[in-house]
Structure 1
Amino acid sequence: MTIDTVRAEPTDRRREQRGWYFYDWACSVYSTSVLTVFLGPYLTSVAESAADPDGFVHPLGIPVRAGSFFAYAVSLSVIVAVLVMPVVGAAADRTGRKKPLLGAAAYVGAAATAGMFFLDGDRYLLGGLLLVVANAAQSVAMMLYNSYLPQIAPPEERDAVSSRGWAFGYAAGSLVLVANLVLYSAHDSFGLTETAAVRVCLASAGLWWGAFTLVPLRRLRDRRSRPEEATAPGLRQLAATVRGMRRHPLTLAFLLAYLIYNDGIQTVISQASVYGSEELGLGQSTLIGAVLLVQVLAVAGALAMGRLARTYGAKRTILGSLVAWTVTLGAGFFLPAGAPLWFFVLAAGIGLVLGGSQALSRSLFSHLVPPGKEAEYFSAYELSDRGMSWLGPLLFGLTYQLTGSYRDAILSLVAFFVIGFILLARVPVRRAIGEAGNPVPEKI
């Protein structure tokens, strides 16, 4: 897909950029409060209340261990997102009307999240359905949101604009988590039971998402599409892009390495709270505090890894972060139950490598994209990212189903970082950049 060059006056461009930041502010609360903190443990407890004496629930007649239900639902949501994203992306390119599609995806996700208020008793199927809808809608909306960046910022501004949007998201996540922590910890003072407080926290994320989405919908503008910019329908366009990428096998080799280790990263993010609550017996307040620590240290870690990349190159820095991920997960396997301090140490380790691993991976990939193919390749990057990120939750869920141990499940994720390390180490990035037709930086 081709994207218009920025032509707006500086004042109009700044206004549109500020509106763009606010979508990250709006939707990051879902990722942080819902997906990372509250929904995993809560939906697991709802499934357990509906389980048979052997600990299994039976959606569509399929026996599923209650402790695996959340992980399977996350996997299903990603599969749904991958099927929908190419279709929506092609429609956005053909019509030039991204904003209505962004609004539709955002409000479907926000409504599903707000509907989690009604998730109580043994309604695990309702919880699974709302999770699939909200997570898939969030993926589609983020794809459209990211595609605005080249339209609202000229090349010299994109790093700064992208970083500010990322910072807005982390700031919103931290702010709402603090409010969640107050509400959850003092739920008696508010006249709420513990489960009611969790349901309010879940629903409030949907209301936040919907309310602040109004800002980007007011400030972002659609660009008229040109006939030559039309793309093939969804999956055919993705297939054509992948076929074209075969002319750059080293770029594909990096993309494969990234997809594998990023799948591990995404699974740790989504399953860490389940591990903390179910295996380590930690309370919700501890989990919220740990996620807050991750949020704060992710910013510091990204800045520190950026400095390391200037000295040692992005590839070496990413490889070092994958070693750190492996050590962190290995340490997580041995964490004693009921020891919040050591869980905070684990959270600190995750936070220090989280932001930098993903930020440097994106910047390194940008060097491997042939000139004139930026939007098309990053579209495949986003779709492929979502397409692979069902495998980690599936492995986590299967490992728990087969062993009954969350420790074994968390340790199984080490495979993603080890394999990703090996594949990335084998990519000659300097040659890959040259073959893509780009100048090779002094440090890469």
Structure 2
Amino acid sequence: MDKRAVKAWIMYDWANSAYATTVLAAVLPVFYASVATSTLDKDTAASYLAYTHSIGMLCVALLTPLLGTLADLSGRKGEFLRVFAITGIVATLGFSVIGEGDWLLASTLLVLTTIGFAGGNTFYDAMLPDLVPAERRDTVSSKGYAYGYIGGGLLLAVNLLMIQQPGWFGMPSTLAGTRLAFISVSLWWLLFSLPIFRYAPRRPASPELPSSVTGYAKVGVRRLRQTFGQIRRFPQLLRMLVAFWFFNDGINTIILMATIYGTSIGIGTSDLMLALLITQFIGFPCTLLLGAWAQRWGAKQVLLVSLSVYICIVILGYFMTQALHFYLLAGLVGVVQGISQSTARSLFSNLMPAARTGEYFGFVNITGKFASIFGPFVFGYVGQITGSTRWGILSLIFFFVAGIAVLLTVKVQKGMQDAQSADQEELERLQGIGAAGNGKDVTFTG
């Protein structure tokens, strides 16, 4: 195990979480509404932002499975990660020049940052089996999320000061402080990505690796079709995927709708931002601690507990009436959000054939993105027909209960055996191709 590469992998979560916290969660929604779409009415501005998010995620969903396949064939997931990360970094920097009414440019940049951030994470997640053996993945995966919490939280705290106290940073106004915040995120993302750019692991290239762009496309499409067809060979992976569709939809809906829900019941903006910081800083130690528990007791068991806590969060959210309650719920989310995501990632990596993690994580990405439309829809629809967002938040219990029910059927050890058998068959197949092509054996590390 290359310790430098593992540290670099963990540090990338520290790097790109600044985008997730400052840009996606805290600053960009307000900046988009007050500056980029200042010439539009509020309802139109909100619709444009929603459409932009949808377009960005659709692009990611369509791109990453094919690119994941090509990354597997070439053995160069790190280089694909670099391209996506730099795309996101440059586009984030572009937010600093957005003027009043520049909604089209802002939307274009948001699509690019979404592609860079979410697309890069597909290759980042797929590196985990290349870096560490199965028995270490729970710990390393949780460390990545934990460092992401603290890194994103630290820069968010500084960014909020830039915006609320711009004079401390030599800025003449809140708008200037906001622009500086965007610049700081892009520089932070770039600086702490340099280690993974240098030390990203490489796997041996496949003998099927084509020599032309057209050949890449043909082989990539063929293997992607095989992935759709072969996933039924891995029933435990398929069950995990179905469980993930449910509970991840619930988690993402809470992340996306928490601020809107808090506002609808009268929680102030400053309280909402402070609660976001609380989530980040509680998430750091709790993800590390629970990651160690997952190493000892098993990722599935810890994930089940964390999803049960989410059910409690939803019920408590229904009864929430004041800012103090929102702070308490933010703390609970901080306890379980990182570990639920990190254990899901490590479980997936254990149930996938090591030779095809890029395309399988791409498959998880595309299906997960399409599945994620249902949580916000149910939240909005239930809230609309009942006239209360409280019933909308309560409706999310269904996603967690369904996710737990399916997850209970996943047999992790059997799934790992299936994945290892597939890797052995792939090794033998590639050795046969290599021997037929040049009389030499093909080496393969899994």
Give, in angstroms, the shift of residue 312 of structure 1.
7.3
Aligned to 1:145: 124
Aligned to 1:56: 43
Q: 1:418 to 1:371 in 2, by over 3 A?
A: same
2:4 & 2:102 partners in 1: Cα distance? 44
Residue of structure 1 aligned with 2:81, choices 102, 126, 133: 102
Q: 1:419 to 1:123 in 2, by over 3 A?
A: farther
1:124 & 1:131 partners in 2: Cα distance? 10
Residue of structure 1 aligned with 2:280, choices 285, 289, 295: 295
Aligned to 2:180: 200
- Percent identity over the alignment is 35
Q: Is the 2:9–2:200 Cα contact (8 Å) retained in structure 1?
A: yes
Aligned to 2:19: 30
Q: 1:430 to 1:163 in 2, by over 3 A?
A: closer
TM-score norm. by structure 2 comes to: 0.78
1:149 & 1:280 partners in 2: Cα distance? 42
2:395 & 2:405 partners in 1: Cα distance? 17
Most deviating of 255-264 and 304-313: 304-313
1:434 & 1:94 partners in 2: Cα distance? 22
For 1:95, the aligned partner's letter is S
Q: Is the 2:36–2:98 Cα contact (8 Å) retained in structure 1?
A: no
Q: Is the 2:163–2:177 Cα contact (8 Å) retained in structure 1?
A: yes
Q: Is the 1:75–1:389 Cα contact (8 Å) retained in structure 2?
A: no
Most deviating of 107-116 and 363-372: 363-372
2:382 & 2:28 partners in 1: Cα distance? 20
Q: Which runs of 5+ in 2 are unaligned?
A: 211-215, 422-446
Q: 1:259 to 1:38 in 2, by over 3 A?
A: same
Deviations 1:146-192 (A, max 9, x none): 33333344556545544443333223112212212322332354444
Q: 1:140 to 1:431 in 2, by over 3 A?
A: closer
For 2:86, the aligned partner's letter is Y
Q: Is the 1:80–1:136 Cα contact (8 Å) retained in structure 2?
A: yes
1:402 & 1:134 partners in 2: Cα distance? 35
TM-score norm. by structure 1 comes to: 0.78
Most deviating of 305-314 and 13-22: 305-314
Aligned to 2:257: 271
- Structure-to-structure mapping, 1:348-427, within 5 angstroms: 348-366=331-349, 368-369=351-352, 377-393=360-376, 395=378, 407=390, 410-425=393-408, 427=409
2:111 & 2:378 partners in 1: Cα distance? 18
Residue of structure 2 aligned with 1:73, choices 34, 37, 52: 52
Aligned to 1:220: 200
Q: Is the 2:139–2:291 Cα contact (8 Å) retained in structure 1?
A: no
Aligned to 1:3: none
Aligned to 2:94: 115
| Secondary structure of residue in 2 paired with 1:356 | helix
For 2:43, the aligned partner's letter is F
For 1:251, the aligned partner's letter is L
For 2:20, the aligned partner's letter is S
Q: 1:137 to 1:417 in 2, by over 3 A?
A: same
Q: Is the 1:86–1:233 Cα contact (8 Å) retained in structure 2?
A: no
- Structure-to-structure mapping, 1:129-144, within 5 angstroms: 129-144=108-123
Aligned to 2:246: 260
Deviations 1:14-59 (A, max 9, x none): 333333333222211111211122223443445774444xx532xx
Q: Is the 2:72–2:358 Cα contact (8 Å) retained in structure 1?
A: no
Q: 1:84 to 1:413 in 2, by over 3 A?
A: same
| Secondary structure of residue in 1 paired with 2:268 | coil
Give, in angstroms, the shift of residue 408 of structure 1.
5.6
Most deviating of 140-149 and 215-224: 215-224
| Secondary structure of residue in 2 paired with 1:225 | coil
Residue of structure 2 aligned with 1:177, choices 149, 153, 156: 156
2:345 & 2:303 partners in 1: Cα distance? 11
1:219 & 1:42 partners in 2: Cα distance? 36
| Secondary structure of residue in 2 paired with 1:384 | helix
Q: Is the 2:14–2:148 Cα contact (8 Å) retained in structure 1?
A: yes
Higher helix content, 1 or 2: 2
Q: 1:271 to 1:244 in 2, by over 3 A?
A: same
Most deviating of 400-409 and 163-172: 400-409
Asked whether 1:18 is paired with 2:7, we answer yes
| Secondary structure of residue in 1 paired with 2:337 | helix
For 2:12, the aligned partner's letter is Y
Residue of structure 2 aligned with 1:326, choices 306, 311, 315: 311
Q: Which runs of 5+ in 1 are unaligned?
A: 1-5, 7-12, 58-65, 440-444
Most deviating of 96-105 and 79-88: 96-105
Q: 1:331 to 1:196 in 2, by over 3 A?
A: farther
For 1:225, the aligned partner's letter is A
For 1:329, the aligned partner's letter is V
Q: Is the 2:318–2:393 Cα contact (8 Å) retained in structure 1?
A: yes
2:128 & 2:365 partners in 1: Cα distance? 14
Give, in angstroms, the shift of residue 122 of structure 1.
3.7
Aligned residues: CA RMSD: 3.7
2:5 & 2:368 partners in 1: Cα distance? 27
Count of aligned positions = 414
| Secondary structure of residue in 2 paired with 1:121 | coil
Asked whether 1:429 is paired with 2:408, we answer no
